[in-house]
Chains A and B, each alone.
Chain A
């Protein structure tokens, strides 16, 4: 059994910032990341971020990741980073099991922060398992991390911000985007992103969904169909679009599995994208000493994942008995930042989700 003060699961923005809050106070932290690179979803994001200066707005995603990693460098004496290391389970008494290079390790610690992020949702349609159909994040990874073309012509399913941004990035790389299709009657993402695509001649087809994929061993095209106001398919409106790649971008769901397995009180909250822990105001779950931060505690954005990360690190240090005026004022400051981030019309979902968490707390 290997002992450490705090274990962080996941090296995305939330995990990195949580680590920062802790190591800065001299707490020893072991951070596990199953990928060979740190930074989570940020490493594939070439676009400049929205939000306020404090959370690195106008900076490109991968530059933010690099910055967060660099911030940790001065504190390397307190920080152990294990890459290519997948956390397999969280057991009673804060025992965490890890797989690295085909070897199995057991750790024990005083507090755990789970910041495993999210996974992309899938969509049910005929032949949806054909090679050539990818999650939008996968296409982004292939292009922006590895510099490899996902395909030559692509159809994007879903017009949320991710669908729109990835479509634009595909165009930048020189891939033809045949269409963005959207089941709802209006575009899901920000207007600016949609206008950019339209200016470049990409049709955004609303009230439209994908009916089936064509191809035997590999995708050769998709069949779309129109939907009426009650989301029923309208027979006779099928159209085939030829393409060698199709991107599914229909939202993200929190990666709750480790928490569910550990017996944490969970609840399905649609506003948060799926099953999330019913955590306290200090981000602590029903498992004493187990905290959460980032997308795993409700799908939001990198900016809020960053702030939640810093915050949960501070809460954990509180839990470990470190209390000071400075910590309190930092907590108050980060709280304010979160409130600001969630104040606009796009924060409505998060506000509703948080209300539901509050209600759920009273029930349990």
Chain B
């Protein structure tokens, strides 16, 4: 969900952009990180861990911890918390290490 009202932040409605999550069309805003756009759409589990297959969401949001890895446009292990969302991106849930295609 997006914050609609805020005493300090100027929350201007930015241009909508579309992307695909597991093949389904979704919308984010210009300037979003991939993880922020997914979070706003209620998608908070981004991958499964390599060994124990534990669910993973983002943790640090500044590119430090690698908890937000997903497959983006076929490339696995993309840090979605610091990668800017671009129109038409194909974002996929990642299981384990992911595969290079």
Q: Which residues of A contact B (CB under 8 A)?
A: 34-36, 46, 60, 86, 102, 119-120, 129-135, 137-138, 141-150, 172-174, 217-218, 255
Contact = CB atoms under 8 A, between A and B. Distances in A.
Given A148-B36, A172-B6, 7 more contacts: A119-B64, A131-B55, A138-B59, A144-B9, A146-B31, A148-B1, A149-B40
Q: Which of B49, B59, B75 gathers most chain A CB within 10 Å?
A: B59
Given A135-B61, A174-B5, A147 B11 contact: yes
Q: Which of B45, B54, B55 gathers most chain A CB within 10 Å?
A: B55
A132 B11 CA distance: 24
A35 B3 contact: no
Contacts, number: 93
Given A172-B7, A173-B3, A146 B36 contact: yes
B26 interface: no
A102 B2 CA distance: 31
Contact of A146 (B32, B49, B55): B32
A214 to B, nearest CB: 14
Contact of B3 (A86, A119, A143, A218): A143
Interface of B: 1-3, 5-9, 11, 31-33, 36, 39-40, 44-46, 49, 54-65, 75, 81-82, 84
Given A131-B45, A217-B45, A172 B2 contact: no
A305 to B, nearest CB: 15
Given A137-B62, A138-B61, A132 B36 contact: no
Contacts of B45: 131, 217-218
B3 A131 contact: no
Contacts of A150: 39
A61 to B, nearest CB: 11
Given A143-B3, A172-B8, A174-B3, A131 B49 contact: no
Nearest to B32: A146
A134 to B, nearest CB: 6
B58 A147 contact: no
Contacts of B62: 35, 119, 137-138, 141
6 contacts: A119-B60, A119-B62, A137-B60, A143-B3, A144-B9, A174-B5
